[in-house]
Amino acid sequence: MQSFVCRILCIFGLVSMLSSFQLKPEPVDLVYPLLDAANSRWFYFSAATRPFGMVNLSPDHEIDGAWNSGYRYEADTIKGFSHIHAWQLSGVSLMPVSYSEAPEKLIADYYSPYSHDKEMVRAGYHQVFLDRYGIEAELTASHRVGMHRYRFPTGQEAGVLFHLGGMLGPSEMANGQLKQTGKRTLEGQVTNTPTSRRPKPVTVHFQVAFDRDIIHWISSDSLPHIIVGLGETRGEPVQMKVSLSYTSPENAAQNMVAEIPHWNFDQVMTETREVWSELLSRIEISGNTVDQRRRFYTDLWKALQGRRTISDVNGAYPDNTGDTFRIGQLPLDDTGQPLFRHFNSDSFWGAQWTIAVLWSLVYPDIAEEFANSFVQYYKDGGLIPRGPSGGNYTHVMTGASSTPFFVGLYQKGVRGFDVDLAYEGLKKNHLPGGMMSKSGYEHRTASGGNVEDYMDKGYVPYPNPKGRFGGHEQGAGQTLEYSYQDWTLAQLSRALGRKEDEAMFLSRSQNYKNVYDANSGWMRPKNDKGQWLEPFDPYDYGKGFVEANGAQFTWFVPHDIPGLAQLMGGKEKAAARLNRQFEEAEKLGFTSGTSHAVETHPEYRRIPVNYGNQPSMQMAYVFNHLERPDLTQYWSRKVLERAFSALTPHLGYNGDEDQGLMGSLAVLMKLGLFQMNAGTEENPIYEFGSPIFDKAVIKLHPHYYPGGTFTIQAENNGENHYYIQNKTFNGTELNEMGIRHDALVGGGILKLEMGSRPQKIPSK
């Protein structure tokens, strides 16, 4: 009888499994969170979290430092579950423990081995088994609340150890506090001490609620660890909720009541899945392989990760832009709800080709929130940031990298922010005292950016004659960035009728020509006397160029590629030269190794095209502007195949993913869409690459765009069919290199006939 029942169950299971394979999986089910997890940075890995959620709850394998920390796939030991994995922020690390006697010993030694064989990770959920304790741990989250479900072994005491001090990722935890506020509740706080990147402390307040009474409390005089004992369990799960706030314990409590007032773990998990499903399903794809569809939705998932909410449900937020900390209040709508969220964010350096394009097209509602958040920073601190952390300015990287983001939104009609105030802040960033005055992490001065020499001499000298003030003081690279950013601000000046500003910024946008050396044929650093750098090697990393070499940065003129080509002797010569760079870079897979950490190693640093970091991201699309769209189509496909197709924990982005930048780039390239200048011209163009899917449907947001859907149909899209043979939109042949924004968001069907034969038709 038993074997009969077993057979019936096995048959039933097989039928269910076959039925499930016949159903088309939803995009959220295709996400692979373990992508590149062996190369994790503190904020990179995500599982139990919502899009841009304050809580990003996951196991930590390494906890010392911002790099090579957090979830590390090859590690075999879990050191806690942290609720915050953000740019320069961490906090609220804890570990479920079980014990039969002497729990005091766990205070100093509580790590547990684990195995991937007993682990499940998907979007919004993480389950893992702690071998040392025999505990099954499940994690999920709402926006500001982490929810835990533990199954402890019978016959042992159950507890949770709170790690309240010491290094945790990028920050040292200080002033850790925990107190019992009720039979089943705790209240606490930890402070992220200042770092070289984030100059001010950030305190995290948290509330903890259990679904059973707290039995005892074990602490240590020598270590910042506390074990909260919950008594013996008899097989039933123990549940815990942890809510966060960067403003106050009261707001942490309000966040919990507002977001998870119940104890239904499965409901939270399902709701989190639904939130992800709505955003990921805004793009529907078909064709290619299952693995490539999984990789696509993982890329799209990454594009909605990393940058984190810091405001509470009531709109309170931490303001660290002034001399003293204060609690700010976001504006509210008629129902008392915040009009937008406030955000923590790594740099927007490189956003012009990635999130600026993807978000404005597919997620204009999210892009508009970020614009409002950055304007709020301007209201509070007098600068629009390029990468804030915990309400702090970090001055990460260089230039005024937020400018193209704002200009692109305006040109696409996404204008639900104070445009005049935003323009005021953007213009300030392009003048002395603004972001162009500050080099990387320059907190107390405004000299490392040296915008004064840029304005007076027409370039930023290298080395900086004023001295060393911050990171990334790389004059030639800064000159190229400033020139492009000036051009984008000129477009907004024109749109707003500010003719004097337009003329000034257009004139400055030609400064890129001042660092082009006609004799060598490369962009080249020069000193304050106007002398070229000697000796000069265009393949030498970091000598006048920000996280790149001269060969890569020479093509950083996204606003005037025809002008650059003219300096090189014409479009044909420029295309041939760039083609040689791609041929050489292909030998290394188009990236400087498999992680950002090895980018400067001798065997990688001389690569002429590096799709593992931001300065090279546009290079395959430069050919479109040199009347060689066939080479854009060919090399963009080759880059995708080598750099953005892996689906393992050991490979993914081959460099610095930087909170959705590389994920967004991969999504756009796979759709076959790109914007060289970030869509900052009037009625901007989406230029074509080579789509890898037979069909992609973008669901246009009805509050911003009227068209309903925009469909890309790539017909005859087989192996080696990289090249567009013919292109039509709603039955009309297209003659430009792409499609204009107004036409695209009006909705319709773009048909691209693909083939193996290059079409060397000049792009117009």
Residue ranges and CATH numbers for the domains of the chain are 27-271 (2.70.98.10), 284-752 (1.50.10)
pLDDT tops 70 at residue 16: no
Strands of the sheet containing 56-59, edge to edge, are 48-49, 56-59, 81-86, 89-99, 157-163, 225-232, 216-219
- Mean pLDDT for 610-634 is 98
Decide if 624 contacts 557 (C-beta within 8 A): no
pLDDT at 612 over 70: yes
pLDDT tens track for 46-94: 999 999 999 999 999 999 999 999 999 999 999 999 999 999 999 999 9
H or E element that contains 273:
helix 265-280
pTM (two decimals): 0.96
Strands (DSSP E) contained in 454-509 are: none
pLDDT at 12 over 50: no
Tell me which residue of 438, 426, 351, 344 sits closest to 399, measured CA to CA.
438
CA distance to 30, 108, 237, 620, per residue, from 583 (Å): 33, 55, 58, 12
Q: Are 484 and 509 in contact (CB under 8 A)?
A: yes
Calculate the CA 538 to chain-centre distance.
Answer: 30
Q: What is the pLDDT of residues 462-518, one digit of tens each?
A: 999 999 999 999 999 999 999 999 999 999 999 999 999 999 999 999 999 999 999
> What is the three-class DSSP state of 601?
coil
Structure-block tokens of residue 548: 């790149």
Token representation of residue 230: 């919950």
| Token pair recorded at residue 479 | 């000159």
- Letter for the amino acid at 352? Q
How do residues 352-387 score in pLDDT, each as one tens digit?
999 999 999 999 999 999 999 999 999 999 999 999
Of all helices (H) and strands (E), which one includes residue 240? Answer: strand 238-245
- For 81-135, what is each residue's pLDDT tens digit? 999 999 999 999 999 999 988 888 999 999 999 999 999 999 999 999 999 999 9
Q: Give 522-539 pLDDT, tens digit per residue.
A: 999 999 999 999 999 999
pLDDT tier at 636, thresholds 50, 70, 90: very high
Could you give the CA distance from residue 544 to residue 460 in angstroms, rounded to a whole number? 10
Q: Specify the residue for token string 């299952």.
A: 290
Strand, coil or helix: 692: coil
Q: Which ranges constitute the DSSP H helices of 303-431?
A: 355-362, 364-381, 403-411, 419-429
Is 68 exposed, middle or buried, given 0-12, 13-18 or 19+ CB atoms closer than 10 A?
middle
pLDDT of residue 761: 62
Q: Report the largest interatomic distance among the alpha carbons of the chain, rounded to a whole angstrom.
A: 93
Residue 240, C-beta contacts closer than 8 angstroms, at least 6 positions apart: 147, 148, 150, 160, 208, 209, 210, 211
Structure confidence at residue 1 as a pLDDT band (50, 70, 90): very low
CA 688 to chain centre: 24
**The Cα angle at residue 388 between residues 95 and 350, in degrees rounded to 5:** 105
Number of Cβ atoms within 10 Å of the Cβ of 703: 10
Residue with tokens 């990236």: 591
Q: Where are the beta strands (DSSP E) in 346-502?
A: 388-389, 392-393
> For residue 11, is pLDDT > 60?
no
| Least confident among 20-29, 458-467, 503-512, 601-610 | 20-29
In the numeric block, the tokens 């260089």 are attached to 398
3-class state of residue 202 by DSSP:
strand
* Averaged pLDDT, 420-427: 99
Residue 609: pLDDT above 60?
yes
- 8 A C-beta contact, residue 463 and residue 473: yes
What mean pLDDT, rounded, does the chain reach? 95
- Beta strands in 111-233, from DSSP E residues, in sequence order: 112-113, 119-122, 125-130, 135-141, 145-151, 157-163, 166-168, 171-182, 185-192, 202-210, 216-219, 225-232
CA of 307: how far to CAs of 376, 574, 585, in Å?
Answer: 16, 37, 31
Contacts of 586 (CB under 8 A, 6+ apart): 638, 642
